[in-house]
Amino acid sequence: MRLLLGSLLATVALLAACGASATVPRVEVLGTLPHDPTAFTQGLELAPDDPGTLYEGTGLVDRSQLRELDAATGAVRRAVPLPAGLFGEGITVVGPRIWQLTWQDGVALEWDRATFTLLRRVPVQGEGWGLCAEPTRLVRSDGTDRLRFHDPETFAETGSVAVTLDGAPVTELNELECVDGQVWANVWRTDRIVRIDPATGAVTAEVDASGLLTREQRAGTDVLNGIAHVSGDEYLLTGKRWPETFRVRLTRE
């Protein structure tokens, strides 16, 4: 990983569930690694039991893939295409398996993590956008203001919660990352990342992640859409067709 010559700091507005201001953290860029600029990134997650392995799900019809990357270099170790006609979305690791959503195809895909063999398709009501795993359930976004909960074995939907900020609905929740009982979500068509309490649906923090790419790097790219927890307050951030992945730290200075 090559380090940036200087730290790039983006202001983060940290909000309590009631909307009151709290300590203001910052996004500090620690370094970058190359990212495939052809990858239409829909899901990004570090293996919980192997910090050297990064999984990525990509989208677009007949171009969607499940990928395994080297977390240190960003290099693609292996990739498998989705079945013809499917538009891939968010992914999450559940032990020896990987679940992958599809956008409007009405199915979730279960993969064998060791072999990248497709095990089964499971029907899903509504759209698939982002996906992450809590200890006892999966959390899915579908482009609305709701987070939906699923059984990690059967993918049966078990409940949902409406997401709000100061009482107003927050829609177009996209790629998700579950961290320490909270859910981080990219907000589609923006550089915003929000942190959600899944018990209440309240947004408890809002991050402005604009300015990661230079103006020159922005050419030909799409939106921010990839967040993977590294450890502590460190994360990986990337986007659709971005040339780089950023390793960042949230600080409270």
57-70 confidence digits (pLDDT tens): 999 999 999 999 99
First to last CA, the chain: 25
Q: Residue 49 contacts by C-beta under 8 Å, 6 or more apart in sequence?
A: none
pLDDT at residue 183 is higher than 90: yes
Predicted confidence (pLDDT) per residue in 28-53, tens digit: 899 999 999 999 999 999 999 999 99
Q: Which residues contact 241 (CB under 8 A, 6 or more apart)?
A: 37, 38, 39, 40, 41, 220, 221, 222
| CATH T-level topology, domain 9-251 | Methylamine Dehydrogenase; Chain H (2.130.10)
Whole-model pTM: value is 0.89
Q: Which of 82, 56, 81, 59 is nearest to 71 (CA)?
A: 56
Tokens of 90: 């968010």
Domain residue ranges in the chain: 9-251
Count of CA atoms in the C-beta half-sphere (13 A) of 6: 3
The span from the CA of 148 to the CA of 181, in Å, is 15
